[in-house]
Amino acid sequence: MPSPVDAYGCLAESTREARGFLLSAPIIQRTLRGEVTRELYVAFLTQAYHHVKHTVPLLMAVGSRLDDSREWLRSELVHYVEEEHGHEQWILNDIAASGGDAEGVRRSKPQVETDAMVAYAYDVAMRRNPVGCFGMVFVLEGTSVALALEAASRIQSALALPDRAFSYLRSHGKLDQEHTQHLAGIVNRLDAPTDQEAITSCANAMFWLYGNVFRSLERVAA
C-alpha cells in the first residue's frame, strides 16, 4: 500500500479511467464548445438540485457512524456541513434566473440516474465504510474545479443569461478549489488500507454514476 502522504495522488491515479468516462460525456464536450441550449442548462440544474440537497444529510450520516477515535474527522465534517448548507437554494435561484420553473423543480422527482447516484452514496454512508463517502466528495469537487467556471462562461456566452443565473457553478468552481486542498489533507491522514480502499471504490463508482447523470440530460431536456 502507498504511504499516507501519497494517498491522495494514488486516489487520483486509481480513478483516472472512471474520470475519463465522466468527462467524455457528449453533453460536457458540447457545452465546452458553447453548443448548449437553455433547456439543457435547466436540465443540468434540475438534476444538480436533486443531488445537492442531499449533501448535508449525507455528511451528517457519515458523522453519525464515526467512533470516538475519529473525532478529528467528525470536526472536518462539521466544517463541510457549514460550507455546503443551503446550496440547493442557490440552484433554485439560478433556475428561476434562467427562465425555468424553480418551484416545479423543487416539487419534482429526480431522474433514475440521479436517484441511483444518491442512493449509492447513502448506501456507502449507512451500510458500508462511511469514510468511503469522501470518494463522493472527491468526484463532485474535482469535477467542479475542472469544469464549473469554464462551463459557466461558455453557457452564459451562448445563452446571454444574467450573472445571477450562475451562482451555483461560479461559487462552486471557486469554493471547491479550496476544498480539494482540504480534502487532500483528510485523505492523506486516513492511513488505514480499508479506508483508502473504501474511498477509491466509492470514487470509481461515483464517476460512473455521475457520468450517467450527464448522459441522461439530453433525454431530460427533450
Instruction: Report whether pLDDT(5) > 70.
Output: no
Residue ranges covered by each domain of the chain: 4-221
**3-state DSSP call for residue 15?**
coil
Instruction: State how far the Cα of 62 lies from the Cα of 70, in Å rounded to an integer.
Output: 11
Q: What is the per-residue pLDDT across 53-95, written as a single tens digit (0 to 9) for each? A: 999 999 999 999 999 999 999 999 998 999 889 899 999 999 9
Q: Which CATH number fits domain 4-221: 1.20.910.10, 3.40.47.10, 3.40.50.720, 3.40.30.10?
A: 1.20.910.10
pLDDT, position 25: 96
Q: What is the per-residue pLDDT across 160-183, written as a single tens digit (0 to 9) for each? A: 999 999 999 998 766 656 668 889
pLDDT category of residue 146 using cuts at 50, 70 and 90: confident
Nearest alpha-carbon partner for 207 in 150, 148, 140, 147: 140
The answer to whether the beta carbons of residues 34 and 158 sit under 8 Å apart is yes
DSSP 93-130: HHHHHTT--HHHHHHS---HHHHHHHHHHHHHHHTS-G
| CB-count burial class (<10 Å; 0-12, 13-18, 19+) for 155 | buried
